[in-house]
Amino acid sequence: MSTEPAFVIVTGMSGAGRSTAAKALEDLGWFVIDNLPPGLLFAMAEEAGKVKLAADKVAAVVDVRSLAFTTDLNAAIEELEGRGVRVRVVFLEASDEELVRRFENVRRPHPLQGEGRLVDGITRERGILREVRANADLVIDTSSHNVHDLRNKIVAYFGGEDRPGLRLNIVSFGFKYGLPVDADLVVDCRFLPNPHWVPELRPMNGLDAPVADYVLGQPGAKEFLDAYEEVLQVVAAGYAREGKSYATLAVGCTGGKHRSVAMAEQLAARLRDREVEVQVSHRDVGRE
């Protein structure tokens, strides 16, 4: 377990839930400052160190409103790491459609839309944040999350910050609804027979024992799970060496109801037996 000072930067798209994430961290006992310009990150970390916070739980929320956002943030992160501070960047994401809906619900303009349309501001912000998102340690897609879902996810990731090792989020999904945008790894279960075509199994999902037994009993299911379990051990060790503490594994089938759900649950159970910290969610169950 690392004893280096830890400093979390929460950033991402406007409307994706930065304030909710910050409040969740505060409720966990973190010292959080909102809307901090990137150029002041090191000064904040330095002050936190003076009051013995730097090695504990300190976070800053940074948004796009700094005109030199990307350059300033990258430079600030480099300065922090050069001074021995372990930095973790959390990026909150959401689809354009969901961001538009949220802004319209609160009747607020996007901070970058200027005289243009709401979608213009969102597009501009995505461009500015592209590099930040690519380098983030943890990307959370909040498109299908309400404030309670996001809070629970933050608690799951940061509620036990003193525990070592990789924290893995396994999410089942349906390819027909699109890939989860925050996935680090993707598993395709469509090589297995689809329970949708078995009349008595069609109304059920992969959490139901008859469906799970059907899926896991198919030729190739056990062999795939055995092999991928070993692959994940290699990947987890590599992530640990690179300082990546959080990862999302997306397990997909056609509709995200049967095969992916059963396989995700089985992978999670196997990894927990190996003392990997895992949480599981099923994005598309009940969506059909």
Q: Which tokens go with 5?
A: 């000072």
* Sheet strand arrangement including 138-141: 31-33, 58-61, 6-12, 86-93, 138-141
The answer to whether 17 is annotated as binding is yes
The answer to whether 49 is annotated as binding is no
Q: How far apart are alpha carbons 130 and 127 in whole angstroms?
A: 5
CA-nearest of 86, 264, 259, 125 to 183 is 264
The answer to whether 144 is annotated as binding is no
Question: How many C-beta neighbours within 10 Å does residue 82 have?
Answer: 9
Q: Classify residue 126 as exposed, middle or buried by CB count within 10 Å of its CB (0-12, 13-18, 19+).
A: middle
Q: Is 58:48 a contact under the CB 8 Å cutoff?
A: yes
The answer to whether 66 is annotated as binding is yes
Q: How many residues does the chain have?
A: 288
Integer CA distances (angstroms), 262 to 209, 221, 222, in order: 9, 10, 12
Q: How far apart are alpha carbons 245 and 166 in whole angstroms?
A: 5
The answer to whether 245 is annotated as binding is no
The answer to whether 274 is annotated as binding is no
The answer to whether 281 is annotated as binding is no
The answer to whether 29 is annotated as binding is no
For the annotated binding site for ATP, the residues are: 12-19
For the annotated binding site, the residues are: 12-19, 63-66
For the annotated binding site for GTP, the residues are: 63-66
